[in-house]
Every structure is written in C-alpha cells, then in structure tokens.
Amino acid sequence: MPGNLPTQPTRSGRVLASDRGSSTAHRPALVLAEAARAISAVALQGRSADEALSPRGQARGSEGSAAAARAAAMQSAIRAVTLGTLRWYLRLDAVAAILLAGRPLAPALRGLLVAGLHQLEFSRGRPEVTVSSAVDAARLLRQPRAAALMNALLRRYLRERPALARRVAADPVAASAHPAWLLSALQESWPDDWAGVIEADNAPPPMTLRVDLTRLTPAAYRAELARHELRGVPLPWCPSAIVLGRPLAVDQLPGFAEGCVSVQDAGAQLAAQLLQPQPGERVLDACAAPGGKTGALLEASAGRVELTAVDSDAARLARVADNLRRLRREARLVCADLTQPPAWWDARPFDRILLDAPCSAVGVIRRHPDIKLLRRAEDITALADRQRQLLTRCLSMLKPAGRLLYSTCSLLPAENERVFETVLAQLPRMRPLSVSELLPPALAASVRRCGYGIQLLPGSAAGTDGFYYACATVT
C-alpha cells in the first residue's frame, strides 16, 4: 500500500464546501484537514499563516447568525491547531521525517501528519480520538489510500514516543524548534538570555489590552471585565495595559466595538510613552500599518496633535483607517514609500516622528510562529538597508530639537543598534537621546541596554514581546 501512495494531492488538498457542512461529529477531522492545508501552505509554499488561514466563505441565508457563529468557532479551532503546529513545526517535522524514513508524502498529508503529532503531544484530547480524526481527515483531503498509513504512523509515534523524543533532543534545531540561523544569532546576541527567549517563543502569548485612558480608567475597565466574568491584570509600568487571564475573540471584549479598548502588546504600547507627543505638535507615524501605534499616539495626546500616518501598502493603510474609525480618532493617511522623495510632504518639519521600521519580526515569534519558517538569514541585510534609508529620510523631516523614535520588533543587533549607529555616524546633524531616562521606573530593570537604545526581550520580567527602541534628534 505505501508504494501506491499518491505523492500529489488531488484538488490541491482542499476540503470541499460540502465536507465542511458535515455534522459536528466530524468536526475534529475537519479542523485537522483545514489545518493541514494551512500548515502545508506555510511550510512548503512560503505563504504567511494569515494568508493561509483566510476564510474562503461567509455564512449566508436565513440561519446566517447561527451559521456564522459555527463558522467562527470552526475557524478559531483551525487557527489554534495551525499556529500551535507551526510553533513546534521544526521539532514535529523532524519526528515525521523519522517516521516516514524517506517515504514521499503529498504536501497536505505531510501537514496532516505534523498536525496530528502536535495534537498527540500537546492537546488534551484522547490519543485514540486524535488518531481516528487524522484518518478521517486524510479522506476529507481526498487521499483515502493514505488513511491506513496515517493511522500506522501516528500509532507508531505513540508506541515509540520516548525513543523518538531522545533522537529529536539531540538536534538543536529540532529541540529548540528554531531554524539554525536564528538559533545561532540569538545565542550570539543574547548569550545570557537566549534560552529564555526560545522558551517564550514556544509558549502561547498573553493577550494584552490597551485602554483608552481618555475615556475610562483601568480600574473601571477591570470592573467591566469582572462583570463579564473575565479577569484582567494590570502591568505596573504601563498604565494603559491590562493582561487578560485568558484570550478571547475581540467581539467578546466589552468596549472593543466602541473603541474604548484595543489589543496591543505592552511593549508596543511603550512607543507612545517614549515619544511623548504634546498637544498642538505635528506628528509623523512612519510605516504606520496596521495602526496600533497610530491609535496609541492619538490616545496619549487625547487627539490634540496633527498626525500623519504613512504606509507604502494601500491595503494595510486601509486597516489603519478601519482602526481609527473604531477608535473614533482622526489622522491624515498617506500611501507612500518613504525611501522615495516625499512628494506628499509640505516641507514643514515634524515635532515628533515614530519610525516603526519593517523588520524580521523575530521578536514577535510567539504571536506569529510562521516567522520561524518564512524568514531567512539573508533577509536581514536587505531589511537593514531599508531601515537605514527610512531612518535617514525621517530624520530629514524632523524639526530641530524634535524627537524621533526608532523602533523594531526584532531582537537582532543588525536591525537595531547597528542601523541606528550607522546612520548616526553618517549624519552630522543627528544626535542620540537617552531612552533610559524616558523609561517608566518599574520597567528599567527589565530592559537590556544596547548602545544608545534599549531591548525588550520576550520572556523577561517586563511581560512583553521583543522590541527595540532608540531616540534621536537633529540640530
């Protein structure tokens, strides 16, 4: 039978709409089948998890609301299995390779095998149910001849789990579930912290909220959460931040639709505290999409600033507009590439500039585990070149004695202090400002000093994702 196994998926390995409409008894198999499709799209086709998980249809008809609720629950389950599997993919795929022993497998089936291994290792479900669901999922993927093989492989894993775990632990990439280039970079850059970063990357992230302090107090919002039987914990160093006891869909968050609260990591919320926009100032939010920091800047200044949000991607800029409508805030939105001459600019310098530069995003892997599979070592050089161009351009638009905040969600010095220091050496008018002096006292002990900037590390006492910040002015 294995010799007759098809090596190419039929119908692209997709689950048909008629299959997705099956009874709830088949729901675990449907979830595994759709997760397998998404996992193979990321791991083998290089698509982002968000793209691969994009719903392909909406519920319609007289039972629209009930059908939509079921579809939302299904999509949430698919997303959880997909992201969990991607988080551990490099370990689980190493196990899959041992089990397969060189046997070819269609991409969607490889994704299904890895997803099944994830569920056996990390879910609370009964192993026999998981195995049965994976067998059914193979049929849903139009690979009925693979069902028996899927059953055999997963049952072998259950029998040989300790021995397989020992074999995988001997490989640093599989053991850490991080690509070799990134593991090496983290060990070199953070010799005392890399193990904690790896551990944080491989754990589900907390769900942190940003409260609009111009509309309600954190205590009042925590009380509102309690009325909905939800628990929120404040962060001492970030007045606007509340960490939820458990994650939930945003449409279940009280006050979210009204713009009173947003989802944003506390490390990202720090940007508004460091930039400190003042009423009446002209503020530039460069590379603004999707608009989380745009909203935070407007809330921090109670909207009394003239803010321009720029992004080179029109679709992503539309998300900024959507976020601002929900927050009931206003800004000028400009679609432009800041590495090019700014034809949109009126030559009036900005008092404050936030440059949240495009980067490798390896500081937010715990939220976007597909980064482990999509990012390559060679990407860093091109990103750093673009970051230097953006920083140079933004400094040219800064008012003398104004403040620019350079930010990334990277942990790599090549994108952080080296970019900042290179531009500093090339521009005589640029002067660094001390970020440490701007930090909330309760946070100071939890950051790492990096030249003129600071680094927040995932897994540190700060309770944040990984962010780098540095400040500059011009004379």
Residues with a catalytic annotation lie at 409
Stretch (H or E) spanning 28: helix 27-45
3-state helix vs strand vs coil in the chain, percent to 5: 50, 15, 35
b/e code 362-385 from CB counts within 10 Å (16+ = b): bbbbbbbbbbbbbbeeeebeebbe
Cα–Cα nearest to 113, from 48, 32, 175, 6: 32
Angle between the 266-275 and 292-300 helix axes, to the nearest 10 degrees? 50
Task: Indicate the residue type of 50.
Answer: D
Q: What residues are paired with 472 via a beta bridge?
A: 404, 432
Name the burial class of residue 432, with classes exposed (0-12), middle (13-18) and buried (19+) by CB atoms within 10 angstroms of its CB. Answer: middle
Ramachandran angles phi, psi of 397, nearest 5°: -105, 5
* CB 452, CB 391: distance < 8 Å: no
Rounded distance, CA 32 to CA 67, Å?
20
| Residue 156: strand, helix, or coil | helix
Rounded distance, CA 331 to CA 295, Å?
9
Identify whether 290 is preceded by a cis peptide bond (ω within 30 of 0). yes
Alpha carbon distances (Å) from 324 to 303, 307, 332, 336, 435? 11, 12, 11, 19, 28
One-character DSSP codes across 357-422: -----GGGTTT-TTHHHH--TTHHHHHHHHHHHHHHHHHHTEEEEEEEEEEES---GGGTHHHHHH
Tokens of 24: 């709830």
* CB 221, CB 255: distance < 8 Å: yes
Tokens of 336: 């432009």
Strands 306-311, 332-335: parallel, antiparallel or unpaired by DSSP? parallel
